[in-house]
Amino acid sequence: MTSTISAPQSSVQPANTTAQDATQPIRPAVGRAAELARTAEEHARERQHAKGKGTARERLDLLFDADSFQEIGRFVGGDINKGVAGSAVITGFGKVYGRTVAVYAQDFSVRGGTLGVAEGEKICHLMDMAISLKVPIVALIDSGGARIQEGVAALSQYGRIFKKTCEASGFVPQISIILGPCAGGAVYCPALTDLIIMTRENSDMFVTGPNVVKASTGEMISMADLGGGYVHNVVSGVAHYLGEDEADAIDYARTVLAYLPSNCQSEPPVFAYASTHADQAAAARIASIVPDNDRQPYDMLDVIHCIVDYGEFVQVQELYAKSAVVGFACIEGHPVGIVANQPNVLAGILDVESSEKVARFVRLCDAFNLPVVTLVDTPGYKPGSDQEHAGIIRRGAKVIYAYANAQVPMVTVILRKAFGGAYIVMGSKAIGADVNLAWPSSQIAVLGAQGAVNIIHRKDLQKAKERGQDVEALRAKYVADYQTTTVNANLAMETGQIDAMIDPEQTRDAIAGVLRTFAGKRRFRPVEKHHGNQPM
């Protein structure tokens, strides 16, 4: 990327010049602009480096392939004659792994990166161009919010950006990287995008800052504890990745863009892939990872690494709602979205947080043509008054809406257990998956055997206790009978809910085969309507 404007030098002579006039003189206006650009970047380095932050142009260097950035409107909002370099935002296009991406990068060294009319106009113009070109949009956020001096005119620009972001939503991928403050109404710009990336230091998002919170409620809290990168990745779930520093955060954005198509009308990129002995060894290792005892935990990530190409898996929201795992991977060179329960955390149970995490990710994959691979091992929804009061009905329904409306290829594998409503919502065939597979030892039922027996045979067990019989032995008999007659996956096969029983070692090949078969799946509109009214 070229961060300064170099004065053009020409060795081409006009027809009527002599040898002594071989060099064309620099026009004064061009020279002033070049000097102003250099001075502005030096000023930005002085201000940003002192805070441990990069300048907007240094960040663009990290985001784009070398020498690929083309700036749009360098001096818009400035006054070259008066020494004003331009507005507090840089806009333009560059290449990420060879594909065009639009960007706007707020420049905190100019008026604190605040948004005024000129900045809003530049951002909206860029977004219009990105939509027209059908390319992703990346926002590098580092701003003090709306410019107070411009009043409601500045606030109105946020409204315009909100509308443009909604217009682009689901059409082109949108990623926000928070590399400084993002406060007040400004937080809803990134909130409307597909992914939010933050850093451990210097990255803050909040609607009302610490001073306002203290004045309103008396609570004293730091910026980091109120809306820092760790808080939004672990507690609120607002962010999707926590970068160690700016370089890590920007590299994650580049990685995610590599899995996504440029727009919803394009297919995801395809990568060269050749099967190796390592794939076969990994596939054979799956059976040893999952214990036979359905109450014994294991790490679902170990299973995923055995299934995907080269064991490479890019998690999304890794630090939030850890009982579910979502992320990007490739199978035979084709990008897919992986959704899985995590038995290592709360037995892989579905709760309000993990439901929203899964639903949001499935919607993202469906918007941008990524097949969804679902790996199921869950005892059901988390019980308790805290979950009911937190809206498990409304928020759990989001998973249903996401899967039921998805039209990308979907394959689901039940590894060990799938009980109750969680079986239905986690990519079951009834809700819209194309193919459902199961391991031989898997269990599918309304309830697990222990819970079901305690309900169905409650009176029998009570009578046995009164008669002095061995209640535990009788309970074990009922559990064994229930497992044989009810939770056996063969029953699901007989009713067509499971398409095939596969050995664990066959999991990768089976998934790959399904994805090849359904690669030509096309979207359709079952009914005419404006849009659905999904649970919010």
pLDDT higher than threshold 80 for residue 26: no
Q: Is the pLDDT confidence value at 12 over 70?
A: no
CATH number of 277-447+487-518: 3.90.226.10
Q: Which of 28-42, 83-97, 161-175, 243-257 has the lowest mean pLDDT?
A: 28-42
By residue count, the chain amounts to 536
Nearest by Cα to 322 from 341, 303, 307:
341
pLDDT value of residue 400: 96
421 is catalytic: yes
Dihedral, 395, 355, 243, 271 alpha carbons, nearest 10: -130
Identified catalytic residue from 112, 185, 420, 432: 185
Query: Higher model confidence: residue 245 or residue 444?
Result: 245
Residue 242 backbone phi and psi in degrees, to 5: -110, 105
Mean pLDDT calculated for residue range 400-413? 97
Query: What average pLDDT does range 398-427 have in this prediction?
Result: 94
Percent above pLDDT 70 for the chain: 88
In whole angstroms, what is the distance from residue 174 CA to residue 163 CA? Answer: 14
Q: Do residues 102 and 126 lie in contact, with contact meaning Cβ atoms separated by under 8 Å?
A: yes
Q: And the tokens for 483?
A: 């497992």
User: For this structure, is 433 an active site residue?
Assistant: no
Reference 136, options 251, 241, 257, 252; nearest CA is 257
d(CA 110, CA 122): 15
Residues in contact with 220: Cβ distance below 8 Å, sequence separation at least 6, in sequence order: 210, 214
Q: At 224, list the tokens.
A: 């980091």
Mean residue pLDDT of the chain comes to 88
| Cβ pair 405, 532 in contact under 8 A | yes
Q: Is 401 helix (H, G, I), strand (E, B) or coil?
A: helix
Average of pLDDT values for 521-529? Answer: 92
DSSP for 493-517 reads HHTTS--EE--GGGHHHHHHHHHHH
CB-based contact 87:112 (threshold 8 Å): no
Predicted pLDDT of residue 144: 87
**Is the pLDDT at 455 greater than 90, yes or no?**
no
User: Average of pLDDT values for 261-285?
Assistant: 92
3-class SS at 473? helix
How confident is the model over 423-439, as pLDDT tens digits?
Answer: 899 999 999 999 999 99
- Mean pLDDT over residues 89-96, rounded? 97
Backbone CA torsion sign across 514, 519, 520, 526:
positive
Q: How many CB atoms within 10 Å of residue 402?
A: 27
Q: How far is CA 47 from the centre of its chain?
A: 32
Select which of 422, 433, 489, 492 is catalytic. Answer: 422
Position 364 scores a pLDDT of 98
Q: Is the pLDDT of residue 410 over 70?
A: yes
What's the pLDDT score for residue 158? 95
Per-residue model confidence (pLDDT) at position 29: 59
Q: How many CB atoms lie within 10 A of CB 422?
A: 23
Q: pLDDT tens digits, residue range 254-264? A: 999 999 999 99
Q: CATH: 3.40.50.620, 3.40.50.261, 3.40.190.10, 3.90.226.10. Which one for 28-259?
A: 3.90.226.10
Q: Where in the chain is the domain with CATH 3.90.226.10?
A: 28-259, 277-447+487-518
Average pLDDT over residues 2-13: 37
Residue 30: per-residue pLDDT: 61
**Least confident window among 24-28, 145-149, 273-277:** 24-28
* pLDDT surpassing 70 at residue 303: yes
pLDDT at 4 exceeding the cut of 60:
no
pLDDT(272) > 60: yes
Residue 6 has pLDDT above 80, yes or no: no
Please report which confidence band the pLDDT of residue 34 belongs to, taking 50, 70 and 90 as the band edges: low
Banded pLDDT at 36 (limits 50, 70, 90): low
CB hemisphere CA count around 31 (13 angstroms)? 5
Question: What single letter denotes the amino acid at residue 536?
Answer: M
Residue 80: the pLDDT is: 67
Q: Span 225-247, mean pLDDT?
A: 97
What is the per-residue pLDDT for 476?
77
What pLDDT score does 276 carry? 85
Quick check: is 185 catalytic?
yes
Instruction: Reduce the secondary structure of 151-207 to three states and give it as a string.
Output: HHHHHHHHHHHHHHHHHHCCCCCEEEEECCEEEHHHHHHHHCCCEEEEECCCCEEEC
Q: Above pLDDT 90, what percent of the chain? A: 67
Confidence grade of residue 11 (pLDDT, cut at 50, 70, 90)? very low
Range from 123-132, 383-392, 424-433, 441-450 carrying the lowest mean pLDDT: 441-450
* SS3 category, 65: coil
pLDDT at 433: 96
Q: What is the DSSP string of 261-326?
A: -SSTTSPPP-------HHHHHHHHHHHHHS-SSTTS---HHHHHHHHSGGG--EEESTTSSTTEEE
Exactly one of 73, 78, 86, 184 is catalytic; name it: 184
Q: Write down the pTM of the prediction.
A: 0.89
Residue 66 has pLDDT above 90, yes or no: yes
pLDDT classification of 3: cutoffs 50, 70, 90: very low
Question: What would the pLDDT profile of 67-80 be if each residue is shown by its tens digit?
Answer: 999 999 888 877 76
pLDDT over 70 at 32, yes or no: no
Of 24-38, 215-229, 383-397, where does mean pLDDT reach its minimum?
A: 24-38
pLDDT at 200 over 80: yes
The listed range with the strongest mean pLDDT (147-156, 187-196, 422-431, 496-505) is 187-196
Structure tokens at 190: 């990134």
- Give 116-131 pLDDT, tens digit per residue: 999 999 999 999 999 9
Of 421, 432, 451, 513, which residue is the catalytic one? 421
- Predicted local confidence at residue 13, as pLDDT: 39
Q: Give the 3-state secondary structure percentages of the chain, helix then strand then coil, rounded to 5.
A: 45, 20, 35
